[in-house]
Amino acid sequence: MSKLDINTRVKLLDGNTIPQLGFGTYESDGKECYNSVLWALEAGYRHIDTAEWYENEAETGAAIRDFIKSSGVTREEIFYTTKLKVNGGYEHVKKAIRKSLKEAGLDYLDLFVHGPYPDKEARLASWKAIEEAVQEGLIKSAGVSNYAIRHLEELYATNPKVLPAINQIDVHPFMTREKEVEFNKKHNIAIEAWGPLARAMRFNNPTLQSIAKKYSKSPAQVLIRWSLQKGYIPLPKSVTKERVIANTQVFDFELTSDEVETLSGLDEYLVTDWDPIGDSSV
């Protein structure tokens, strides 16, 4: 495999590129969010992920703008993602996109993502609004979150003008989602891991501990490295400066192919937060 570093980017099916290591802001708000995003940018992250329902788009955007002013790094070097809160209909989504832009104080969104709830009609209406925003230049890349194979097939059946470039899913060694991964890869959809650390629920796993000890790394660093070597785009999150920095220190070691497979063998369908993919009602 080619050597990975903090500047490694993944080319998307629409021609845009995304930094492979991202920084998540879930359950982070106010000054805590602003500080963590600023620390992340100072540590070298160039990919920041937020969402309308995190209620921290303003703080995230402010940190990005302030960092740009103080560092000389350009807006184009920073990849900013936000996500729709509710598939509330075509007009609602059009307004939500513009509101997210205004909240962040940015001229465009690098990636805009929406999820599968509540139903087909709502999903497809959202995608129409997202397509139009892409064509208007408000959004560079369009994506989905927690889309199962059935949701993607439903979208493809409409012959969309804009194809989903990314699918954000819960994927880690304890939830490998092999069928979903295979389908997404077949359709050139990049996979983002929104919970690459499995919310620390398996940090004490003996296999994970053993591999971490071998490389003098933390379980979190091994999980991030696994995600990177699988070709995913992990979004680790922390509001502790030391951990924000530590989560970037994953490029000075490489798991063997056997270790990657051993970690993948830990799959237990561990749901760490929610599981729309496994929810047959949607």
Task: Count CB-CB contacts under 10 A for residue 178.
Answer: 10
d(CA 86, CA 97): 11
Q: CB within 8 A of 97, min separation 6: which ones?
A: 84, 109, 112, 129, 130, 133, 138, 139
Instruction: Scan for tokens 């940018």, then name that residue.
Output: 41
Q: CB within 8 A of 26, min separation 6: which ones?
A: 51, 54, 194, 237
Residue of 45, 54, 80, 147 marked active site: 54
d(CA 238, CA 88): 31
Helices first, then strands: H and E counts in the chain: 10, 10
* Residue 54 annotated as catalytic: yes
CB 192 within 8 A of CB 168: yes
The set of catalytic residues is 54
